[in-house]
Amino acid sequence: MPVPTLARVTGALVLIVGLVAGCDSGAAEPAAPSGATRVFTADNGDITIPVAPKRVVATGYAVPALLEAGAPLVGISTWQRGLPMMSAKDRAAYDRLAKVAGESAAETNYEAIAQAEPDLIVIGVPKPVLADIDLDRLRAIAPVVALGPSLPSAWRDLSRKQADAAGALATFDTVRAAYVDKTKQLAAKYAGVLPKLKFAHLGAYGEVANGNFQREFNGSWGTNVAQDLGANYYGEVKVKGTGSKAVSEYPSIEELPSAFAAADVITYTVSADGSVPKGVRYVLDSELWKGLPAVKAGKIYPLRYTEAATYGSAMATADAADQALAPLLTS
């Protein structure tokens, strides 16, 4: 496989050059007048950013993460997807802050960003989307740190990096500690039950409306928080893709019996308000679903808030999973 090797070599080179350059600039450049700076490694290279930024603009996935971490935000992009999962305090901040971009990165309002006079811009979009943004123009306003999602479960690392860049690690670490505490307790509570069972998850993200169903394995949206409670989602993707395609797949509904035949327990994704999304409803209503062993045994449980991408919202996910899986403790 020549391409990955080449990519790895190039990556290593970039890293080395970056480190050398970082050392160099650290030694040679005088400290910026507005305050101390440091070199931060992001998707778009090694960026010199303020140690303690005072005015931060955030877009994409960085919006919920930095709201939660209490970063000094002065402008954000809209983030409709995250609204149902925001705490009341974050939601109020979201509504109050100036919007500098819509959901589509191409329509970033550069003048509005300049007007917000940020000293740091954190872009939380997947790497390919960066092509749609005029990074040079943004760099003319303030240092730009691009930190985008890769694997679904990688939000843990991603939100930490985003908070780190924005100088808001303190609050972030408090929230994370609370999450870790909670999931540790829950894992202990379920220790006698969950690890012995084979789990499978029916997802609701992506191509689920066309006679397919989404099967999520370990490390995917629907499964990663339940895993922290001790659940193990058996099996793996038949044809590995990148990103979400590495941990979930979309087989035809005809393959439902063979896919879920060995599952002791099946969890499935439901919306924040508890309603069953259309693609999931289609599977639940099909004749083939009714013949599955786990369905016959009554061991099917809905999971809410599976799209959590911050520790704060994942607390709700963990609580919801606890609620949903509680019957397993008594049976």
Binding residues for another protein, rule: CB under 8 A, are 60, 78, 80-81, 98-112, 114-115, 125-137, 148-149, 206-212, 238-239, 243-244, 249-255, 257-258, 275, 278, 282, 285-288, 291
Least distance between another protein and beta carbon 245 (Å): 8
> In which element (H, E) is residue 135 found?
helix 135-141
Q: How far is the CB of 310 from another protein (least distance, A)?
A: 16
**Radius of gyration in angstroms for the set of CA atoms belonging to the chain, rounded to a whole number:** 22
CB-wise, 190 or 282, nearer to another protein? 282
Nearest CB to another protein, comparing residues 258 and 331: 258
Comparison of 167 and 302: residue with beta carbon closer to another protein: 302
Beta carbons within 8 Å of 233's beta carbon, 6+ residues apart: 199, 200, 201, 216, 217, 218, 220, 223, 226, 227
Shortest CB 78 distance to another protein, Å: 6
- Given the DSSP bridges, would you call strands 144-146 and 199-203 parallel, antiparallel or unpaired? unpaired
By CB atoms closer than 10 A (0-12, 13-18, 19+), residue 151 is middle
Task: Report in angstroms how near the CB of residue 75 gets to another protein at its nearest.
Answer: 9
C-beta of 46 vs 173, nearer to another protein: 46
Beta carbon of residue 50, minimum distance to another protein (angstroms, whole number): 21
Nearer to another protein, 89 or 290 (CB): 290
Give 3-state DSSP helix, strand, coil % of the chain, rounded to 5. 50, 15, 35
- Nearest approach, Cβ of 276 to another protein (angstroms)? 9
Token output for 287: 């004749």
Nearest of 50, 53, 24 to residue 38 by alpha carbon? 50
Closer to another protein by CB, 104 or 174: give it.
104
Q: What are residue 169's phi and psi, to 5 degrees?
A: -65, -30
Helices (H), 195-299: 224-228, 256-260, 278-285, 287-290, 293-296
